Amino acid sequence: MSKRVAIVQFPGTNCELDTKYAFEKLGFETEILWHKEEAIPENIDLVVIPGGFSYGDYLRSGAIARFSPIMKGVKEYAESGKNVLGICNGFQVLVEAHLLPGAMKRNDNLHFISKHHHLKVVNSDNKFLSAMSEDDIVNIHIAHAEGNFFADESTLHEMRENNQILLTYCDENGDELNPNGSVDSIAGICNKNRNVFGLMPHPERAVDSILGSTDGIKMLEGFLD
């Protein structure tokens, strides 16, 4: 039986179809959920909050989306131990909803960044990156204006102790190369229970060679197990 993915759509979301395509390419069944729904359907194996500009990024990216009715269902789903993935704006929404630690700030250069960038796997002891190994390097597209992840030192210490830092920005050789000012070059994290994941890069945009990379497949297929 195919695994089922629910993809949340807010006003301003623009990556739901890319996300749907990527997961269906891997053999998942998908369903797009409008933000006014209040519960996650039964028999869903993964909830994904995709990229875009929910509510036009007013106030802060993800700050209004966290109050949408569907987030009540997302929170209950996550608290039951099931898997949630936030990509780019989805990461920002999960941070605003306090399902992930830290905060998102404007990029250091104050500009929107859109390009391919390398990432290093810091920790693969989790469902999301279980098909990969520590120190693997992938080339994934980034597209954000507020991707500058921040956490205070006590939060960072706790995240390091709990192996919650999953991905960092690097160059093709694995050396640190930070595109946005994110603390410790962090590109992706998880919660303490390792069932809620967030990353700024877009793995769903790296599943066909014509797009410049198929490395996103390695990242998303961890959810197949």
Catalytic residue list: 88, 202, 204
* The two three-digit tokens of residue 168, written as one number: 């960092």
Q: How crowded is the C-beta side of 69, counted as CA atoms within 13 Å?
A: 8
Strand stretches in 71-205, DSSP E: 83-87, 103-105, 113-121, 137-144, 148-150, 165-170, 186-190, 196-199
Instruction: Output the six-digit token pair for 221.
Output: 């297929």
**Count of H-run helices and E-run strands, the chain:** 5, 11
Contacts (Cβ under 8 Å, ≥6 apart) of 200: 88, 91, 142, 144, 147, 149, 180, 182, 187, 188
Phi, psi of 184 (to 5 degrees): 55, 20
Evaluate whether 142 touches 179 at the Cβ level (below 8 Å). Answer: yes
* CA separation for the pair 160, 137 (Å, rounded): 20
